[in-house]
Amino acid sequence: MNRLQSLFCSALRRVTLLCVIPLTLSVALAEPLKVAYSDWPGWVVFDIAIKKDWFKQEGLDVQFLWYDYAPSMDAFSTGKVDAVGMTNGDALVTGSGGKPSVAVIITDFSSGNDMIVAKPGIESVKDLKGRKVGVEVGLVDHLLLLNALESNGMKETDVTLVNTPTNETPQVLGAGAVDAIGAWQPNSGQAMKTVQGSKPIYTSAQAPGLIYDLIYVSRENLEKRRADWAKFVKVWYRIIDYMQDPANLDEALKILAARDNVKPGRIRAFPERHAPSDIAGSFAALEERRWSEFDLRFDQGRRRLQCEIRRV
């Protein structure tokens, strides 16, 4: 090889390297957004966008990973996913464990779907005194139970807590191991179907503003991929617009029912007791598609969550 050929080959290698580096970077940047979600109506609606490829249409690769609720929080805390569906109160749990997060969407607020369901013969919260209550300790419906007890002049020590994963509460109530459970739909509905005569004695409709459901993103991922999360929020609005059109209701119910393995008619009852956020009501994507960051503080004295919004 003469000197001219050697120079040409050297230049070719450099050009090839320059071409490979951007390609490598683009592959790294194209990693999917990983979102953990679980069986709650306000999060199951993401299946509509998944089925219709709306994220792909925005140029996004989003990987939704299905978990039970508490394991979804664990997956987020350990960095297995970039985002997770959680309630406002439970975000404090992951935050206190060293995984701070930023809410980018309020998907809904619970207006009856979270329930304290009691077996026949128990007519009120006060009837729970001295009884066993199955609930996932430390999570959202434990908070609802505390609120129910406090509202009726009672304390946590007036009942015996039986720590139960929420998706197992129908079986525990059905087996007679507890006298009541704390659960959300579809688990609460399944419990009432399993135990004939059981009924809700307290719901989130009696505690307005207590439970909000949100999509939380890790701070580090939001900083790195803010533009992608803005597109993610845009798809959320598309879901809301789709669901608000009565012409789409039957198709939407079929998609949601397929996820929960129930008949569409059962899903149809949920929205009456569960209010999804609309464009005006969401604090997550602001007017003109700006962002808000949620700083949640827990007031131990009153057991209430306050939300401070900061423009980012």
Q: Report the pLDDT averaged over residues 11-24.
A: 47
pLDDT at 21 (0 to 100): 46
pLDDT at 129 (0 to 100): 98
What distance in Å separates the CA atoms of residue 128 and residue 257, rounded to the nearest whole number? Answer: 33
Residue with tokens 């957004």: 33
Percent of the chain predicted with pLDDT > 90: 56
- Written as six digits, the tokens of 219 are 């701070």
**Residues 129 and 241 grouped into a single domain:** no
Q: Is residue 215 within a helix (H) or strand (E), and if so which, with residue range? A: strand 212-218
Residue with tokens 């790195």: 224
Most distant CA atoms of the chain, gap in Å: 98
pLDDT at 33 (0 to 100): 98
CA distances (Å), origin 266, targets 19, 44, 113, 261, 291: 55, 14, 13, 10, 35
Nearest alpha-carbon partner for 116 in 204, 209, 207, 201: 201
Counting the structural domains of the chain, the total is 3
**Residues 15 and 3 grouped into a single domain:** yes
What distance in Å separates the CA atoms of residue 287 and residue 56, rounded to the nearest whole number? Answer: 24
**Residues 3 and 77 grouped into a single domain:** no
pLDDT at 42 (0 to 100): 85
Q: Which residue has the higher pLDDT, 243 or 183?
A: 183
Print the domain residue range for 10.
Answer: 1-30
Contact between residue 187 and residue 194 where contact means Cβ atoms under 8 Å apart: no
pLDDT at 247 (0 to 100): 95
pLDDT greater than 90 at residue 236: yes
Parallel, antiparallel or unpaired: strands 199-203 and 114-118: antiparallel
Tally of residues, the chain: 312
**Residues 55 and 191 grouped into a single domain:** no
* Gyration radius from the chain CA atoms: 24
What confidence tier does 244 reach under pLDDT thresholds 50, 70, 90? confident
**Residues 129 and 199 grouped into a single domain:** yes
Q: Which of 89-98, 155-164, 214-223, 283-292 is least confident?
A: 283-292
Phi, psi of 251 (to 5 degrees): -65, -40
Contact between residue 54 and residue 238 where contact means Cβ atoms under 8 Å apart: yes
**Residues 226 and 300 grouped into a single domain:** yes
**Residues 180 and 304 grouped into a single domain:** no
What distance in Å separates the CA atoms of residue 73 and residue 235, rounded to the nearest whole number? Answer: 23
Of 161, 191, 206, which residue constitutes the final position of a domain? 206
Q: Is residue 292 within a helix (H) or strand (E), and if so which, with residue range? A: strand 292-299
What distance in Å separates the CA atoms of residue 284 and residue 291, rounded to the nearest whole number? Answer: 6
Q: Report the pLDDT averaged over residues 260-272.
A: 53
What distance in Å separates the CA atoms of residue 230 and residue 197, rounded to the nearest whole number? Answer: 46
pLDDT at 200 (0 to 100): 97
pLDDT at 89 (0 to 100): 87
Of 169, 188, 206, which residue constitutes the final position of a domain? 206
| The residue type at 162 | V
pLDDT greater than 70 at residue 20: no
Percent of the chain predicted with pLDDT > 70: 73
**Residues 202 and 263 grouped into a single domain:** no
What confidence tier does 23 reach under pLDDT thresholds 50, 70, 90? very low
What distance in Å separates the CA atoms of residue 123 and residue 127, rounded to the nearest whole number? Answer: 7
pLDDT greater than 50 at residue 288: no
Q: Report the pLDDT averaged over residues 110-122.
A: 94
Q: Which residue has the higher pLDDT, 22 or 209?
A: 209
For the domain that residue 273 is a member of, what is the CATH number? 3.40.190.10
pLDDT at 290 (0 to 100): 32
What distance in Å separates the CA atoms of residue 85 and residue 105, rounded to the nearest whole number? Answer: 9
pLDDT at 214 (0 to 100): 92
Tell me which range, 37-41, 83-87, 103-107, is most confidently predicted by mean pLDDT.
83-87
pLDDT at 29 (0 to 100): 53
What confidence tier does 233 reach under pLDDT thresholds 50, 70, 90? very high
**Residues 94 and 237 grouped into a single domain:** yes
Tens of pLDDT, residues 71-88:
999 999 999 999 999 998
**Residues 41 and 123 grouped into a single domain:** no
3-state secondary structure of 102: strand
Contact between residue 242 and residue 48 where contact means Cβ atoms under 8 Å apart: yes
pLDDT at 180 (0 to 100): 98
What confidence tier does 208 reach under pLDDT thresholds 50, 70, 90? confident
pLDDT at 264 (0 to 100): 54
**Residues 304 and 216 grouped into a single domain:** yes
Residue 43: CA count within 13 A, CB half-sphere: 26
Of 206, 235, 266, which residue constitutes the final position of a domain? 206
**Residues 18 and 67 grouped into a single domain:** no
